[in-house]
Amino acid sequence: PEYMRANADVLQGRVNVEIAAKNIGGNIWCEEGVEIAEDAQLYGPMYLAHDCRIKAGAIIHGPSTIGHYSIVDERAQVDRSIVWNNSYIGERAELRGAIVGSSTSIKSKAVMFEGSVIGDKSIIQEGAIIQPNVKIWPDKEIEAGAVINTSIIWGSQGRRGLFSRFGVTGLVNVDLTPEFATQLGGAYGAILPKGSIVCINRDSQQRTPRMIKRAVISGLPSAGVNVHDINQVPIPVARYFIRNTDAIGGVHVRLSPHDKRVIDIKFFDQYGLDINKTTERKLENLFFREDFRRVDVDEVGAIEVLENSYVLNRYLEGFAKVVDYNLVRKRKFQLVVDYANGSTLQLLPGIFNRLGCELIVLNTS
């Protein structure tokens, strides 16, 4: 309570302290680089540190402080609370008289009540509720939908594994950072034989899958695994290519079809199938123990970038072996195809042309 009162006294001018920021009106103090959405609602006094972001529909009531590089996402509510640096307050999350430490994530629709404190590098999953005066010590994870009535000091509360039904999934630069992806690549490489080959690709022109894919790539060679970067191809093409080459596994990085802020990382075995639960657990154990194999400099894996045309042609050759083009062409199919601005644009138009299909196409930009 004393810490909260001290911050409030400074922001409300009750003590003679110089605030090293610009008052933009209403006792809202901003450092350089602060981004505030036009329809965000701010009611001072408050302090917004440099390069923090207040997104559309967010509501902040003072006295509140938001640390540098922190994000208050759309329609989140912050009331008389303190958020330290590099933290994330998710969509529709609510802070009511709470303190959030550095590098902490409060996911969507989570609620923190009066006097609650979340330590550094913790994760409060979607819809969790932290009751009044509960303290969560650093490096803890609270499972989605949990209601926490007592403080958590030792261990974690429902720490989940890396994998969900969509692979390794998380918000970009919140859950899935480049550092995380590099460690994940190193852990995956460590469960594979040295000198083996892993194919990796993405399925979108967006910047975020490209960034995460390159981070995963950087981790694999450190474990002595060679990387074939097959660029941007659809998942079926990646699966086929892995199954019909010398690759022993694969990684596919995609934008979530459910939320464009989320990345899914999928892992494949030598047959192009999703890795089994045993392999998932082995990868998780290595990752959480940070027990990665690091090879000598002369054993570091190579990175080879393969041309998209080569990868796609391999798939088309296989497709032609199992589909009778002439038989399909006789049917003269008329199709409506929604490409969803995806990577199938590289492949399907040519296939449909060979099949003699008449198309009405959508979302091809």
pLDDT digits (tens, 9 = 90+) for 11-48: 999 998 889 899 999 999 999 999 999 999 999 999 99
Share of the chain above pLDDT 70, in %: 98
207: its two tokens: 């910047």
DSSP assignment of 204-224 equals -SSHHHHHHHHHHHHHSGGGT
Confidence band for 156, pLDDT divided at 50, 70 and 90: low
Q: Coil, strand, or helix at residue 65?
A: strand
Are 298 and 323 in contact by the 8 Å Cβ rule? The answer is no
CA-to-CA separations, 131 to 89, 124, 136, in angstroms, rounded: 17, 13, 11
Q: What is the pLDDT of residues 300-353, one digit of tens each?
A: 999 999 998 899 999 999 999 999 999 999 999 999 988 877 788 888 888 999
Alpha carbon 268 to its chain centroid, in Å, reads: 19
Per residue in 221-250, pLDDT (tens digit) is 999 999 999 999 999 999 999 999 999 999
> Looking at domain 163-314, which CATH architecture does it have?
3-Layer(aba) Sandwich (3.40)
For 2-148, give the CATH class. Answer: mainly beta
Q: How buried is residue 179: exposed, middle or buried, by Cβ count under 10 Å (0-12/13-18/19+)?
A: exposed
Grouping H, G, I as helix, E, B as strand and the rest as coil, residue 69 is coil
pLDDT at 158: 44
pLDDT at residue 76 above 60? yes
Tell me the per-residue pLDDT of 270-302, one tens digit each, with 9 for 90 and over.
Answer: 999 999 999 999 999 999 888 788 899 999 999
Sign of CA dihedral 14, 18, 20, 24: positive
pTM, two decimal places: 0.77
Alpha helices in the chain (DSSP H): 2-11, 178-190, 207-219, 235-243, 277-289, 308-322, 325-331, 348-354
Q: Are 204 and 342 in contact (CB under 8 A)?
A: yes
Q: How far apart are the first and last CA of the chain?
A: 54
The domain ranges of the chain are: 2-148, 163-314, 323-362
**Pick from 123, 107, 116, 112: nearest CA to 157:** 123
Tokens of 16: 């003679």
Report which DSSP code applies to 97: S
Rounded CA-CA distance 284/191 in Å is 11
Quote the DSSP letter at residue 343.
Answer: G
Are 161 and 207 in contact by the 8 Å Cβ rule? The answer is no
Q: What is the mean pLDDT of the chain?
A: 92
3-state secondary structure of 295: coil
